[in-house]
């Protein structure tokens, strides 16, 4: 027996309405995803470090890089104060502009968990960097920066010490590379370069390099300064505290 399907004007109209609704719902969902700020190169963690720790609470310093020309720009560190606790926002301040035109923002926050993500507002839209859904934590010392100086704190420092440990965390751009620290003890009237050696590979694919400087007694504040140079693929990258260089205050203040 042959079964004949008869389409009435009413069923056709209902099908058309349903199809239109599905299409509109899809558009709204896509638009919602974009406005929520999925992974984007407009914002990213540049570097971070622990400034101070006591009684299980740490003070974090986070630098964020943004690449956008939108109006009313704001950057926030969206952080979890403690595990399963309430999330809070710490607003970052504009810090400097790099040679490529990107902006650097700085924020500090106190946390027991150290877990955070980055929110960037520009031109009325939100963009997020949440480390590809994993969020950041205190072990994430470097983001998009080519190389940074790692804060080591009091355990590596003494005013009467004759040695001074310096670590660099860097992107593994190539196997063959050269890393050294340039330092002065007389306010840059003179300086020395000392090679750094590979120490370890980190979970995020970066590397840690280090060296120990031999200094007879810690000079007065302001005389001792250093910067780190990373040479790879015919290019040279510097970690120099955004042009201010590092000193013993940066080293021990955590």
pLDDT tens digits, one per residue of 153-165: 654 455 555 678 8
pLDDT for res 152:
78
Query: pLDDT-derived band of residue 252, with 50, 70 and 90 as boundaries?
Result: low
In angstroms, the first-to-last Cα distance of the chain is: 86
Tens digits of per-residue pLDDT, 180-203? 999 998 889 999 999 999 999 998
Q: Are 185 and 225 in contact (CB under 8 A)?
A: no
Is the model's pLDDT at 221 over the cut of 80? no
Is the model's pLDDT at 130 over the cut of 80? yes
Query: Domain limits of the chain?
Result: 43-129, 147-252
| pTM, entire model | 0.79
Q: Which CATH architecture has domain 147-252?
A: Sandwich (2.60)
Tens digits of per-residue pLDDT, 11-59? 445 445 444 444 444 433 333 333 333 447 899 999 999 888 888 888 9
Rounded Cα gap, residues 207 and 53, in angstroms: 24
Quick one: which H or E segment has residue 72? none
**Domains 43-129 and 147-252 alike in fold:** yes
Tens digits of per-residue pLDDT, 74-86? 999 999 988 888 9
Is domain 43-129 annotated with CATH 2.60.40.2440? yes
2-29 in b/e form (b: 16+ CB < 10 A) is: eeeeeeeeeeeeeeeeeeeeeeeeeeee
């Amino acid at each position: 027996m042959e079964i004949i399907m008869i389409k009435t004007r009413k069923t056709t109209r209902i099908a058309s309405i349903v199809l239109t609704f599905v299409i509109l719902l899809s558009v709204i969902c896509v638009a919602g995803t974009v406005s929520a700020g999925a992974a984007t190169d407009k914002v990213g963690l540049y570097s971070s470090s622990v400034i101070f720790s006591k009684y299980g609470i740490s003070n974090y310093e986070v630098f964020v890089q943004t690449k956008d020309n939108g109006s009313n720009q704001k950057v926030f560190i969206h952080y979890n104060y403690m595990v399963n606790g309430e999330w809070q926002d710490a607003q970052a301040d504009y810090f400097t502009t790099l040679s490529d035109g990107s902006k650097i923002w700085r924020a500090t926050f106190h946390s027991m968990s150290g877990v955070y993500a980055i929110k960037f507002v520009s031109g009325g839209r939100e963009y997020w960097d949440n480390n590809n859904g994993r969020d950041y934590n205190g072990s994430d010392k470097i983001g998009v920066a080519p190389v940074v100086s790692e804060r080591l704190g009091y355990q590596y420092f003494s005013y009467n010490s004759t040695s001074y440990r310096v670590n660099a965390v860097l992107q593994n751009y190539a196997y063959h590379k050269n890393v050294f620290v340039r330092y002065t003890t007389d306010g840059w009237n003179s300086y020395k370069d000392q090679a750094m050696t590979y120490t370890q590979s980190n979970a995020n694919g970066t590397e840690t390099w280090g060296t120990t400087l031999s200094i007879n007694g810690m000079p007065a504040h302001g005389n001792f300064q250093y910067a780190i140079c990373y040479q790879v693929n015919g290019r040279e990258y510097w970690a120099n505290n955004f042009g201010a260089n590092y000193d013993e205050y940066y080293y021990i203040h955590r």
